[in-house]
Amino acid sequence: MKISSVWKAVISGAAAGIASAATAVQDGRLTAAEDVTIVLAVLGAYGITWRVPNRAPSEGA
């Protein structure tokens, strides 16, 4: 299965954002600091995932 680097970054960003948001709303409210944390988690995941290249397919696979 071939996944482009764009979709790889989008999926990882969404996963990071959802995980951060789920943790942030445990107390029933969302503060400005938690908003910033969610945004930074998404942007960090986008950037790191975008930067790391996909592995080349191996022989016979």
What is the domain count for the chain? 1
Q: Give yes or no for residue 2 having a pLDDT over 70.
A: no
Q: Does the residue 33 lie in any domain?
A: yes
Give the residue carrying structure tokens 């080349």.
Answer: 56
Structural domain containing residue 23 = 5-51
Q: Give a yes or no: residue 57 inside a domain.
A: no
Could you report the per-residue pLDDT of 3-59, keeping only the tens digit for each?
Answer: 677 888 889 999 999 999 999 999 999 999 999 999 999 999 998 888 887 777 776
14 within domain boundaries: yes
The answer to whether residue 61 sits within a structural domain is no
In a domain, 34, yes or no: yes
pLDDT for the residue numbered 58? 75
What is the rounded (10 degree) CA torsion for 20, 39, 15, 1?
A: -160
